[in-house]
Structure 1
Amino acid sequence: MASEFSDKGSVTGAVMVVGGGIAGIQASLDLAEAGYKVYLVENKSAIGGHMAQLDKTFPTNDCAMCIVSPKLVDCGRHRNIELLMDSDVIGMRGQAGAFTVKVRTRPRYIDLDKCTGCGDCADVCPVIIPGRFDEGLAVQQAAYKLYPQAVPNAYAIEKRGISPCRDACPAHQRAQGYIALIREGRYEDALRVIKEDNPFPGICGRICNHRCEDACNRGKLDDPINIHALKRFVTDKVYAQPRVVPEPAERRYEERVAIIGAGPCGLTTAQ
């Protein structure tokens, strides 16, 4: 998901801080106390950075977590600070005092508003992966909280590798991605994910031989997820709504490319 923060040309009262380490946290707190709206962007699921990974700090040999944890709490509770977790800055334009920043946020797969941090999901998660917080020296479940004192105090799910349904699909569609968006009612975003790999979602939702369903692990328990029907459903639902003309894509390269043939391969390549 990509978001834009802009002020339409006038000087804004908002500040974006990139990086949720100890420096970014302190900068955010100082700016928030001065009355600014602060967007704190961090590419992990919790703030704290390398400071939270340390045991002791030089030269006083103080406990690193004892130093940083009060700031974590203050940052997480401050009403002028909005945390953007699992996010990266992918573009910026404008001038001093009036920037427009584009931020891409990766899915967390757990609702921050509903998660209580109880850890039940990690207890039943069957997938073991190298721990990110311990730099791969230990292991963790795919459903995890970065560290015990993490802010936000919520779990996330890390998805790695290629799912069986995607591996079986000739177009390598990210079925698990758009199905999760359909479940949340984000139908336009789901169609956007589909069309990143497949320019013919309406057709494939009807005539595809759905190899993805043959490979679906759910079929080992009862019945596989009805993936091709969900693709057809979301395509028909979005196309039934009034069409909004998209803005022209920004041209990043001067070179031009010619594609010979307007079949499925040619249209996919052009898109």
Structure 2
Amino acid sequence: MPSGTPSTTGSALVLGGGVAGIQCALDLAEGGYKVYLVERSPALGGHMAQLDKTFPTNDCAMCTLAPKLVEVGRHLNVEIVTNAELVGLEGEPGKFDATIHKYARYVDPAKCTSCGECAPKCPVAVKDVYNEDLNERRAIYKLYPQAIPNTYAITKKGHSPCKRACAAHTSAQGYVALIGEGRFDAAYTCASDPNPFVAVCGRICTHKCEDDCTRAEVDEAISIAGLKRFVADWAVDNLPLPDPAEVKYKEKVAIIGGGPAGMTAARDLALLGYKTTVFESKGEAGGMLRFGIPEYRLPKAALQQDIDRVLALGVELKTGQTAGTDF
């Protein structure tokens, strides 16, 4: 049957996308079956893709494998399902119902062009399983250059203990890694994404993240709060205030109270596209951060730094306005 002719006679499931699984899928597809080729890793090829030469002909492994990869990737009767495993099988021969669990790639195959620009920017290095842990690769990767599907994937092993411990769910391991790479602007963005009060939390946070830092099992916990304070102070002189956020909706939002909760809500709403106004009864925003914590613990300049970045997004602040009295 020609490779371009759709299947009409039934379907088959092939587990394992190594060279044997690929050849099996091609034979079934040419016989008219719709084939689901399921592979646990992000790409087809199996162990043969790791080899240099193959026994007994001493041929180049990729020279043998690559044509099959191209053919199986283009065959209309073959649906490739990578990053997936069989978790259930019911029924009888000819009438099986298979349940496949597909793990996330964290990269959209429809948008990825496999340009490779993402990998050098990734600050996280992990063991390279493809090369038998003999070197390291970045957390975002393509299994090998000729991989099918020709799409990058991200190794994600759940949330780090420091991120789970954080009340704001800040990616502490993310900005620590970025600081280690010298990418301070990206580190500030990472730290401020869930919580705009970076300079504040770098000084007075109880840093539960450090209590759960697994580095303490080796020597001592990483100074996560100190690193956050460092990148916040760096941003004062090196990172300009953000541009006003685009207003996408005609509805306006009023927030009563200019404390940390109110200012955070205003920031998030502004980024979503709402025109937001904060009404504060006192003369300045900040709430208990400004009026309840002494200067030697939290300098007012550090607090104002975080507030100014929120206001720069287009958030309007009206002070001396008490709900029920002034409006």
Say yes or no: TM over 0.5. Answer: yes
Give the AA of the match of 2:169.
Answer: C
**Alpha-carbon distance, 1:214 to partner:** 9.0
**Alpha-carbon distance, 1:21 to partner:** 0.4
Tell me if 1:45 matches 2:2. no
In the other structure, the counterpart of 1:212 is 169
Kindly tell me: are residues 133 and 221 of structure 1, through their superposed partners in 2, closer, same or farther at Cα, counting changes over 3 Å? same
Tell me if 1:87 matches 2:121. no
Contact 1:42–1:85 (8 Å) recurs in 2: yes
Give the one of 74, 77, 80 matched to 1:77. Answer: 74
Contact 2:163–2:170 (8 Å) recurs in 1: no
Kindly tell me: are residues 90 and 62 of structure 1, through their superposed partners in 2, closer, same or farther at Cα, counting changes over 3 Å? same
Give the one of 34, 57, 61 matched to 2:58. Answer: 61
In the other structure, the counterpart of 2:13 is 16
In the other structure, the counterpart of 1:129 is 126
Q: Distance in 2 between matches of 1:48 and 1:100?
A: 26
Q: Distance in 2 between matches of 1:150 and 1:65?
A: 11
- Equivalent positions of 1:101-140 (< 5 A) are 101-140=98-137
**Alpha-carbon distance, 1:137 to partner:** 1.0
Give the AA of the match of 2:74.
Answer: R
Partner secondary structure for residue 212 of structure 1? coil
In the other structure, the counterpart of 1:195 is none
Give the AA of the match of 2:188.
Answer: L
Partner secondary structure for residue 133 of structure 1? helix
Contact 2:168–2:194 (8 Å) recurs in 1: no
Q: Distance in 2 between matches of 1:112 and 1:20?
A: 18
Q: Distance in 1 between matches of 2:78 and 2:173?
A: 42
Kindly tell me: are residues 51 and 214 of structure 1, through their superposed partners in 2, closer, same or farther at Cα, counting changes over 3 Å? closer
Higher relative contact order (CA 8 A, sep 6+): 1
In the other structure, the counterpart of 2:151 is 154
Q: Distance in 1 between matches of 2:74 and 2:58?
A: 28
Larger radius of gyration: 2
Q: Deviation per CA, 1:97-123: give whole Å up to 9, x if none.
A: 111011001100001111111001112
Q: Distance in 1 between matches of 2:58 and 2:173?
A: 52
Give the AA of the match of 1:221.
Answer: Y
Contact 1:44–1:86 (8 Å) recurs in 2: yes
* TM-score of the pair, normalised by structure 2: 0.51
**Alpha-carbon distance, 1:40 to partner:** 0.4
Partner secondary structure for residue 90 of structure 2? strand
Q: Distance in 2 between matches of 1:35 and 1:51?
A: 27
Partner secondary structure for residue 25 of structure 1? helix
Tell me if 1:96 matches 2:93. yes
> Percent identity between the aligned chains?
53
Choose 16-25 or 217-226, whichever is displaced more: 217-226
Q: Distance in 2 between matches of 1:220 and 1:119?
A: 22
Kindly tell me: are residues 214 and 111 of structure 1, through their superposed partners in 2, closer, same or farther at Cα, counting changes over 3 Å? closer
Kindly tell me: are residues 225 and 165 of structure 1, through their superposed partners in 2, closer, same or farther at Cα, counting changes over 3 Å? farther
Can you give the 5+ residue segments of structure 2 that lack an aligned partner in the other structure?
Answer: 1-8, 176-185, 196-263, 265-327
Q: Deviation per CA, 1:19-40: give whole Å up to 9, x if none.
A: 0001000000000111110000
Report how many residues are paired: 180
